[in-house]
Amino acid sequence: MTFGQMVIAFIIIYLCVYALIGRICQCIEHCATARAYSKFRENGVLIKMDDVEAGIKKSNKEKQDVGEKI
């Protein structure tokens, strides 16, 4: 294998691993959201997924604001 082939192989492997990890993280995020939504339904709280998403975005914004103040 020449150096060029090794570089191309490394880039391809890196992209595949990066994409795989991205898919796994996305799956974990969706599972956590579904689990939280089901807990709301178990407790009798009627909430829409849009409200859950808005709450997550608000929480992330608050974390960023705290990070900027430090």
For residue range 21-67, list pLDDT tens digits in order. Answer: 999 999 999 998 888 878 877 777 666 777 777 888 888 888 787 77
Domain carrying residue 51: 15-69
Q: What total of structural domains would you count in the chain?
A: 1
Residue 2 within a domain: no
Residue 26 within a domain: yes
Residue 6 within a domain: no
Kindly report the pTM of this predicted structure. 0.55
CA dihedral sign, ordered 59, 62, 63, 64:
positive
CA-to-CA distance for 7 and 16, rounded, in angstroms?
14
Residue 9 within a domain: no
Residue 23 within a domain: yes
Residue 48 within a domain: yes
Residue 5 within a domain: no
Residue 24 within a domain: yes
Nearest Cα to 66, choosing from 31, 3, 58, 17? 58
